[in-house]
Structure 1
Amino acid sequence: LAVGVALLTLGASGALDPLTLGVIAGGVVVGGGAGAVIANRVPMTAMPQLVAAFHSLVGLAACLVAVGAVYAPDAFGITTAAGGIKTLSIVELSLGVAIGAITFTGSVIAFAKLDGRMSGAPILLPARHLINI
């Protein structure tokens, strides 16, 4: 509902051209439809695994957006007059990749543990005490 209101507001204000608005709306409809179909097919007892799987996609999306911004900074409006990427944007992109990668990895591990594909026991590294120092 909130996404629909935001799209209608942006469309009415003229902030987005109709093609861009159509692409965004199409993505919301396709993604929402796919998510609804998947959610209806999954039993309630498997809902935690589904949430972990969907959450991993959020982390992956954050990484891909940051990578896309690095490869096409002009499209994101983050270039300086000299043609480089703004310092603040580099910090934001770095944080986006780091947090997105941690979210993706953690959610995949959570899915595997919840689904019984991975042991619930902690993973202990041989030199973990040296690493922590």
Structure 2
Amino acid sequence: MAEYRSLLEELAQNITAEDLEQLKSACKEDIPSGESEAIATSHHWFSFLEKHGKLGPDTLSYVEHIFEISRRPDLLTTVVRYRTHVLKISEEDEVDTKLTRIPSAKKYKDIIRQPSEEEIIKLAPPPKKA
């Protein structure tokens, strides 16, 4: 349970107030409008999702989906890393489990990874005007 709380804390540290509005908008069908206004921090958002069965130590698919449609591959990668290292569910196993429904999460690893020196294409400087 400590690893799960650490996961939520790491995610919360990377969610700004603007991000929170986008995340709430992405799941507006699941949050009644009156309750949406009461969710002022990412911690409140996580608590709301837990209370309504959308998030838990082994219930991650909903937030993975929200992070993907909100275009937050960094947060999605954090959840995938938790799932593979803490829950010991590999990307190959994810098809057989209900813990995730996003097999495309694998693609984000390459997006976040910095290219090596060999992978960087170097351009020549522009020609000087005569």
Instruction: State the structure with bigger RCO (CA 8 A, min sep 6), 1 or 2.
Output: 1
Higher helix share: 1
Q: TM-score, normalised to structure 2's length?
A: 0.24
Please identify the structure whose Cα radius of gyration is greater: 1
TM-score normalised to structure 1 length: 0.24
